[in-house]
Structure 1
Amino acid sequence: MATDRRKLLKMGGMAAAAALAGCVGVEEQGTPTSGSSGGSGGSGDSGGSGATQTTEPAVDPGTATTWYARSSAEGETLKGVIEEFNSQSRHTVEGSDLSDLEQKTQSAIPANQGPQIFEWAHDWVGDYYQRGFLSDQSGNLSVSMDTFTDAAAEAAQFDGAVVGLPFAAETVTLLYNEEYVDSPPESVSEMVDVMEEHHNPSNGTYGLGYPLNAYFMSGFAQAFGGYYFDPEADEMLGIANEETVEGFEYILDTFVPYMPNDTQYGPQAAAFSEGNAPFAINGPWYLGTAREKGVDVGVTSLPTADGSEPSPYTGIQLWYFAKGMGSSEADATAAREFVEWYVTNEEQLLANAESHGFIPVHEELAGDDDLPSSVQGFSQAVQQGVPMPTHPRMGDVWGPLETGFGKALNGNMSVNDAMVEAEETIRSNWE
């Protein structure tokens, strides 16, 4: 047990105290708790980590259910992490990897059949909170929001409520096969030269693997001054703006000719991971998959497009606190202790950075020069980008945008007409 205690002490601060009390089980008479540490007021208003601990009656061992949707490599890692927690804790976490996480959470949580916690990027925060799917845990946490970068702390909060804890940033950026690419391109024109050399569909080789969904396309769609959605703008919707349309046309004209015909995620991802393309545009979740296939992966920021800087959407990965946190005090305690342990365990966060390209948002690790080169590449891409809006109306943008782009991709409509139609659909849904 001493070894486990030393390992947990690496987490440091309030989180370590909570984890030791809850996980190792030596505090049979009480669990260290703190007052509201980071509830309202954003990332800088939690008062630091100097909360006063009090002793309260011990909560019975609980069982927390968590849902997530990960790539195969990331999923295997998380299973191991959950096993490690369970081996140290008086509590138990049961995890399920779901391919249809959004549908399952939206149907199960309102029926009180959902998990205590689930993992996803921060773009669901506003919508899920307003629909009553999330639980404000600001008064129950032993981790200060000052533990995280400002952007990460803000992403986990809505209307003063702390609805989750962050552990990584993410975005899509340019990946390259170091067997085929000597040095990463700084411009798309340099990238095209390499794609031209390798693109030969008759032999099953391509220039690029690039899934054409709205999130993946955001970098180049927003490269020329356009935007998808801005709640602060006079016109919140921007997908039919001239600048955004130019970005979509750029994708169609510049990248699509060098890609597999099927633009869905699977075929595009396979082109690179099977060693049949020099480039991919993908995220850190894909890194482990490509490496497992033997690809020597380099990571760099998105190259400039005709002198313009791409602006991809960035996400913050959260462990969300679901409505199910209110079903049982013991189970809620188990869920909190797992999440607090996960997001503050620096050894584990660094291992995820090394294996899967997770970009740490823990203040002690973010921007560290010792992070793996792949993580530094993703970090540069995050600095290029803008956070996905958490506004509830953002959820209505993705589907019509992708439907409209699909019509332009298939030649059924011009990009401009397709995006005008998409905006009309979105506004109708808002009404």
Structure 2
Amino acid sequence: MSLDRRTALKHLGGASTVALLAGCIGVQQQGSGGDQTNQSSGNGSQGGSNQSNSSSGSSGPSGSATAWYSLPEPEMPARKQAIKTFNQQSNHQISGADISDMEKKTTSAIPAGQGPQTFEWAHDWVGDYFQRGFVVDKSDSLSVNLDTFTSAAREAIQFKGNVVGLPHSAETVALIYNTDIVDEAPKTVSEMVDVMKDYHDPGKSQYGLSYPFDPYFTSGWLQAFGGYYFDVNKNPTLGINTPECIRGLEFALDSFKPYMPSDPTYEPQAAVFAEGNAAFAINGPWYLATLNEKDVNYEVTTLPKPEGGEVNPYTGITMWYFSKGMSEENADTKAAREFIEWYVTNEDHLLSLAKKQGSIPILEELVGSNKLPAEVQAFSQMVERGTPMPTRPRVNKVWSAMETALIKAFNGDATAKAALNGAAKTARSNWN
């Protein structure tokens, strides 16, 4: 199991609840939120690039390819426009399909030869999917120099020297606060707790904090006091039940749980801030597209400092994977590759996503740029302070064990120590 943050977000998109998309989608077939555009007239707002690349001047036979992604509803228009713009500029055709359960669909469709040429997800699947033959190395056929991207992004898309995709943005969590409730951003957790205490009143549907309590979102605190989930440079590599991680979980439970809604899962937590009923939220850049559609005045800042520690959240790189459907060098593979290269290097498009959706660019030319909005700069600072999710195949067996443990600890069904000891036992059992 991986962390399906984007699937959960579908429930929060638009002006009202958006149902999850369902049903199997095969290669060259559209999903409920899919998009297939031809070279009709009209210019898209995402068009034009500060960098020229092969897609706009492609030659040779035209190809067609399918791109899978999983997006909250507010992000769909920009994705459809991007595909439309590429199709207008290229002799190739890309069909987009929005997928409700990316892990389930990719692990079933790709081995059966029914998967897409490319799909979008965070980099934590790189090692697992490469070893299982779901993605392929295309390092010998790329037109993009990997030095175009940050060092973290370059490392994230590779496994043992194999380049299995190209990156386009970073992600992590930061602190978001309602400016109608909070006067200024807290610098320490203690200051944040003081504000939460004053505002929190569940009887009036007021909460101090909106915070999904899962392994990704809580990683900053569990790793704040020297702990780690999985470290390839340490022995043992699994660290989820070290004293340092246990301390981090105890800190998170003591500091944040009293001011949160009683259900720790993503949807009820994220909804209260989006509805204007929480002082703070801890969430990622993908959440901003939803907030921008709501009547909430907010600002984004870095996570506050815990006493005696340094917050250290996991970070991710969102990338377009080279699926097994790109194994053979043909026109369809070329279509997919040129679309990916165009998407990840088009500065105008990436800046537009940063301004409208909070997307964090990882192009060296844009990182730290004053062209980026303040909220994106805050997320970028958290990316720099955080730790990239490991790409080792074993890591995917840790997430589900951790998710169960955190819910048990949050609900009071186990102490932090007992919950994390149980997670470690389960993870090691999964490995075997």
RMSD of aligned residue pairs (Cα, Å): 1.8
Shift of 1:198: 1.5
SS at match of 2:375: helix
Please say if 1:10 is aligned against 2:46.
no
In the alignment, what sits opposite 2:320? Answer: 319
Distance 2:54 2:149 in 1: 17
In the alignment, what sits opposite 1:389? Answer: 390
Name the CA shift for 1:17/1:353 in 2 (closer, same or farther; >3 Å): closer
Distance 1:17 1:288 in 2: 28
What CA deviation, in whole Å up to 9, does each residue of 1:65-118 have, x standing for no partner? Answer: 111111211222211211221222221111111121111111111111111001
Q: Is the 8 A contact 1:8 1:20 kept in 2?
A: no
Structure 1: stretches of 5+ with no match in the other structure: 23-30, 32-57
In the alignment, what sits opposite 2:274? Answer: 273
Counterpart residue identity of residue 116, structure 1 = Q
Q: Is the 8 A contact 2:94 2:339 kept in 1?
A: yes
TM-score by length of 2: 0.88
Structure 1 runs (4+) deviating above 4 angstroms are: none
Distance 1:360 1:398 in 2: 26
Shift of 1:162: 1.1
Q: Is the 8 A contact 1:68 1:96 kept in 2?
A: yes
Please say if 1:154 is aligned against 2:190.
no
Q: How many pairs were matched up?
A: 392
Counterpart residue identity of residue 198, structure 1 = Y
Name the CA shift for 1:165/1:302 in 2 (closer, same or farther; >3 Å): same
Distance 2:406 2:428 in 1: 17
In the alignment, what sits opposite 1:43? Answer: none
Counterpart residue identity of residue 389, structure 1 = P
In the alignment, what sits opposite 2:55? Answer: 19
SS at match of 2:191: helix
SS at match of 1:169: strand
Shift of 1:10: 3.2
Counting only pairs closer than 5 Å after superposition, residues 224-373 of structure 1 correspond to structure 2 as 224-326=225-327, 329-373=330-374
Distance 1:219 1:266 in 2: 20
Counterpart residue identity of residue 10, structure 1 = S
Shift of 1:9: 6.6
Counterpart residue identity of residue 430, structure 1 = W
Distance 1:311 1:241 in 2: 16
Q: Is the 8 A contact 1:121 1:315 kept in 2?
A: yes
Shift of 1:419: 1.2
Shift of 1:327: 5.6
Name the CA shift for 1:143/1:328 in 2 (closer, same or farther; >3 Å): closer
TM-score by length of 1: 0.88
Radius of gyration: which is bigger? 1
Q: Is the 8 A contact 1:272 1:279 kept in 2?
A: yes
Distance 1:98 1:369 in 2: 34
State, as a whole percentage, how many aligned pairs show the same letter: 54
Distance 2:329 2:160 in 1: 25
In the alignment, what sits opposite 1:125? Answer: 126
Distance 2:304 2:370 in 1: 22
In the alignment, what sits opposite 1:77? Answer: 78
